[in-house]
Structure 1
Amino acid sequence: MVASPFLDIAGQVSCCGERGLLSLAFHPNYAQNGYFYVTFVNLNNQVALVRYQVSADPDVANSNSAQTIMLIDHPAGFNHYGGQLQFGADGYLYISTGDGADPGDPYKNSQNAASLLGKILRIDIDHGTPYAIPPTNPFAGPGDPLDEIWSLGLRNPWRFSFDPLTNDMWIGDVGQRNWEEVNFRSGRRPGRTQLWVELLRGHARAFRR
């Protein structure tokens, strides 16, 4: 461990519950451009996606290089933020978001294509300002809501991973009470709708307070 932290943003991060620093991902060309990305819950209870760049010292980030890429308003006080970041083999940045809800799905954000909550998002951070929409995103195109959405219908996809051989995506989605989900998305198919909250409607105990 180095004597000084690589990046210190403690003064910008809201703590406690499921808040805090959520994820970090290095740009695929980090060795050339020095860019990396973090998600955290800021002091306004928003999920913030921010880009930083390493300084001339490879062990210290340039804290003045911060560029805010995305801010996602969050209605709940302390849980369901998601926040995982990973670059796919396609070079796009994938971001998970929680549904922003307390138990029982009170806000119904997950299946709502007009909300960024309860989703996997996919953006092109190498083009556009501050990013571009990949043309193969399922909602990309005129008249469609929220082009950033890659997959919807998730409760709190706190972590996901890509299979390095197949590019299949495996999503760990935090369920309610007795139920959890592991969702699979084939690397050969576009994004899809997952089944929170519909999958659990037949399981009354999942919604019992």
Structure 2
Amino acid sequence: MVAEVIRAVIADDDARLRDAVRRGLDTGGCRVVGVAKNADEAIELTVRQRPDVALLDIHMPGNGIRAAQEIRRTAPDTAIVMLTQSRDDDDLFDSLRAGAVGYLLKDADPTTLVPSLRGVLAGEAAMPPALVARVLDEFRAPTRRRFGRSSAAAGKLSAREWEVMELLSRGLSTEQVATRLFLSPTTVRVHVSSVLKKLAVRDRESALRLLSGD
């Protein structure tokens, strides 16, 4: 159950921004339990204070993405929200992979910050609509597929195995498939090995030919 007063840690090397965010949180019914200027301070404060939310700047000294990864590992009950000026796709997707459940822009209306955090703690993702659209564009299934899901060969595969093979059929490398599906390259290779066994073929090229009906 979400506490009525949200306990938050703010991490940003811009003092004016930190102060503005703090005022917005205080006004909206949050309590700031720690303020950090860099990634190491953010990690230490979050582990010590165990706040409901950690608001992290991506490009603060020490790297906000690294801070998010470490906080997810050492304080898994704290929701991680990136507060940034960056609209860069790499920053967005790296943040999500690092464990962030929100990605808010610094130029947004500060009165929307607290409602966004309450939404995060209620299980919602906090992200501007334009960035949501980019996430969907990145991860939605293609409209044209190289092979059909209903084919006899494809019917032998699990949903994840089929997804892996579909991406490989589009020319993505093992590492790119892993990034797209939030998996490790090793896990992708395990799925491919399972597919080869199920289809009784020696290599992925043969599997792709079989799945495409060539």
Give the TM interval when normalised to the shorter protein. under 0.3
Structure 2-normalised TM-score? 0.27
From the two aligned structures, give the one with the greater strand fraction. Answer: 1
Rg bigger for which structure?
2
